[in-house]
């Protein structure tokens, strides 16, 4: 028997309209970047550096490996940025040393007058000998020696992907002193300016529109591919920069979350939309929502209710001067009240990616798990993931920044710092009991002068029912 034809994703989306208007904020002005440059140069003076060098490489999918160049000069591509400590010396940028096809790049590098195109080379690519990244590092070494002599002190800013390039640069400049200084820019992003908050707000609103689009198309018979694509279409249409910053999970337990693979929605399913980031002008937003398709079990309802209540209790404590610890612990009160945990302390809490009690790896249970849609593709699930029950993380949340940046703080039981106006973070409560129940819900917040703003408020945190 031939299955009935399903409507196309275009038909499913045809009458979708979000229930609020998205209005993008203006671009961050030049003075925002000038203030960042002033702060970086001041840090360089205090540390005794002759210059700060920022290095960003490319990774797969035409993305840069870190956000440092985007933060300093609004440059979306790879590059080696030389920031002389002296105010009267210009910034210099070496760039275009990969085979990325993003041409032209998004905009101009702000504050930079001197730009050099290194070029992508190699025997196979261009029938020219040499290495593109090697050529870039050689040019950087020559530039630094020309500007500061053979024995400069350089503050270096980059990520793990750039470590081999830093090693090459140090080899070419054996008399120079290189000092890791990622912390300079990381500290600057701990508290956000009002203009930055406006961009975060826009990113969160894009997530809300995309989530509403996902709700709009979700029904029995629709695939995870179609839900994911509806979400993607909606946020990219508003100016989103990537379509790969989020996960989706669909099964009868609510316990898996990954990339779509062709799972068909059925009555009794739980769906998790885990939006790790949607990016707008380099700034990201993060949320998580749950969808129930028809009836779910009483235990699943209890788990989801505890998670939703946890975020709501934590939210009430957000204000300048509050302890992160107190915000975190408030969210775990419903877990304890429902017998899911005995303590909010991170050190003692079980969590789903936890290793063994002795610090050694924990075995993943081998067991056949039926999945008709996966098996239709010629595969089988033969293990129960994850290996442990509990929340995804032994904490409540973390700071939110630019795509490719690291978290500057976690919302956890061991964080005794106080909240400050301008901090932006996600609070997400999560719980997994393999093959039984699961939940992941969360909102994005900014601390205001007298409390907080929920940036993702346009889609309610509560379970969405289909």
Residue 9's pLDDT is 84
In angstroms, rounded to a whole number, what is the distance separating the alpha carbons of residues 346 and 340? 14
Residue 26's pLDDT is 95
Q: In sequence order, what are the beta bridge partners of 247?
A: 274
Q: Which of 94, 111, 184 is nearest to 147 (CA)?
A: 94
Does the pLDDT of residue 2 top 60, yes or no?
A: no
In angstroms, rounded to a whole number, what is the distance separating the alpha carbons of residues 382 and 372? 13
Name the pLDDT band for 251 (thresholds 50, 70, 90): very high
Q: Which residue has the tokens 């010629």?
A: 378
In angstroms, rounded to a whole number, what is the distance separating the alpha carbons of residues 93 and 97? 12
- Among 105-109, 136-140, 396-400, the minimum mean pLDDT is found in 105-109
Residue 214's pLDDT is 98
Pairing between strand 410-411 and 397-399?
antiparallel
Tens of pLDDT, residues 197-216: 999 999 999 999 999 999 99
The share of the chain scoring above pLDDT 70, in percent, equals 98
Copy the structure tokens of residue 215.
Answer: 């709700």
Tens of pLDDT, residues 66-99: 999 999 999 999 999 999 999 999 999 999 998 8
Residue 102's pLDDT is 65
Does the pLDDT of residue 266 top 80, yes or no?
A: yes
Name the pLDDT band for 257 (thresholds 50, 70, 90): confident
Q: Which of 313, 334, 328, 347 is nearest to 431 (CA)?
A: 334
Under 8 Å CB-to-CB from 156, ≥6 apart: which residues? 52, 53, 55, 166, 178, 179, 180, 181
Copy the structure tokens of residue 232.
Answer: 């993607």
CA 135 to centroid of chain Cα atoms: 31
Tens of pLDDT, residues 142-171: 999 999 999 999 999 999 999 999 999 999
Does the pLDDT of residue 1 top 80, yes or no?
A: no
- Among 41-45, 273-277, 406-410, the minimum mean pLDDT is found in 406-410
Copy the structure tokens of residue 40.
Answer: 């970086």
Under 8 Å CB-to-CB from 38, ≥6 apart: which residues? none
- Among 23-37, 301-315, 351-365, the minimum mean pLDDT is found in 351-365
Residue 189's pLDDT is 94
Residue 403's pLDDT is 84
CB 264 within 8 A of CB 376: no
Does the pLDDT of residue 3 top 90, yes or no?
A: no
Pairing between strand 270-280 and 247-251?
antiparallel
Name the pLDDT band for 10 (thresholds 50, 70, 90): confident
Tens of pLDDT, residues 384-416: 999 999 999 999 999 999 988 877 899 999 999
Task: Report the chain's mean pLDDT, rounded to a whole number.
Answer: 95
Residue 270's pLDDT is 98
In angstroms, rounded to a whole number, what is the distance separating the alpha carbons of residues 229 and 217? 10
Does the pLDDT of residue 4 top 70, yes or no?
A: no
Does the pLDDT of residue 311 top 70, yes or no?
A: yes
Sketch out the chain's domains with CATH numbers: 30-188 (3.40.350.10), 194-465 (3.90.230.10)
The share of the chain scoring above pLDDT 90, in percent, equals 89
Exposed e or buried b per residue across 234-261, where buried means at least 16 C-beta atoms within 10 angstroms of its C-beta: bbeebebbbbebbbbbbbebbbbbeebe
Name the pLDDT band for 255 (thresholds 50, 70, 90): confident
């Amino acid at each position: 028997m031939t299955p009935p034809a399903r409507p196309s994703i275009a038909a499913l989306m045809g009458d979708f309209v979000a229930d609020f208007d998205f209005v993008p904020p203006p671009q961050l002005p030049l003075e925002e970047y000038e203030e960042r440059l002033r702060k970086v140069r001041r840090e360089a003076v205090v540390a005794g550096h002759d210059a700060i060098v920022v290095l960003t490489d490319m990774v797969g999918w035409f993305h840069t490996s870190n956000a440092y160049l985007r933060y300093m000069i609004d440059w979306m591509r790879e590059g080696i940025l030389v920031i002389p400590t002296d105010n009267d010396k210009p910034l210099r940028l070496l760039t275009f040393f990969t085979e990325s096809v993003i041409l032209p790049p998004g905009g101009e590098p702000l504050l930079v007058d001197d730009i050099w195109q290194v070029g992508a080379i190699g025997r196979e690519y261009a029938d020219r000998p040499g290495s593109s990244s090697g050529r870039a590092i050689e040019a950087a070494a020559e530039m630094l020696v020309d500007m500061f002599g053979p024995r400069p002190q350089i503050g270096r800013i980059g990520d793990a992907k750039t470590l081999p390039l830093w090693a090459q640069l140090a080899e070419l400049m054996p008399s120079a002193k290189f000092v890791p200084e990622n912390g300079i820019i990381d500290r600057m992003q701990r508290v956000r300016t009002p203009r930055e908050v406006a961009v975060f707000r826009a990113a969160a609103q894009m997530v809300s529109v995309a989530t509403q689009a996902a709700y709009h198309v979700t029904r029995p018979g629709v695939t995870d591919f179609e839900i994911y694509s509806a979400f993607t279409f909606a946020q990219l249409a508003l100016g989103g920069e990537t379509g790969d910053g989020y996960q989706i999970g669909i099964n009868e337990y609510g316990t898996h979350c990954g990339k779509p693979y062709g799972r068909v929605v059925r009555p009794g399913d739980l769906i998790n939309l885990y939006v790790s980031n949607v990016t707008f002008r380099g700034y990201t937003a993060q949320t998580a929502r749950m969808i129930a398709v028809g009836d779910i079990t009483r235990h699943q309802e209890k788990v989801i209710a505890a998670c939703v209540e946890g975020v709501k209790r934590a939210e009430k404590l957000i204000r300048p001067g509050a302890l992160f610890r107190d915000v975190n612990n408030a969210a775990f009160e419903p877990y304890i009240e429902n017998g899911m945990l005995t303590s909010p302390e991170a050190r003692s809490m079980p969590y789903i990616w936890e290793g063994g009690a002795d610090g050694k790896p924990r075995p993943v249970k081998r067991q056949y798990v039926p999945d008709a849609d996966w098996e239709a593709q010629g595969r089988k699930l033969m293990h129960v993931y994850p290996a442990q029950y509990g929340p995804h993380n032994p904490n409540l949340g973390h700071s939110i920044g630019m795509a490719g940046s690291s978290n500057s703080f976690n919302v956890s039981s061991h964080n005794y710092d106080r909240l400050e106006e301008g901090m932006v973070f996600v609070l997400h409560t999560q719980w997994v009991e393999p093959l039984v129940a699961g939940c992941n819900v969360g909102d994005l917040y900014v601390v205001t002068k007298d409390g907080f703003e929920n940036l993702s408020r346009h889609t309610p945190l509560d379970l969405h029912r289909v």
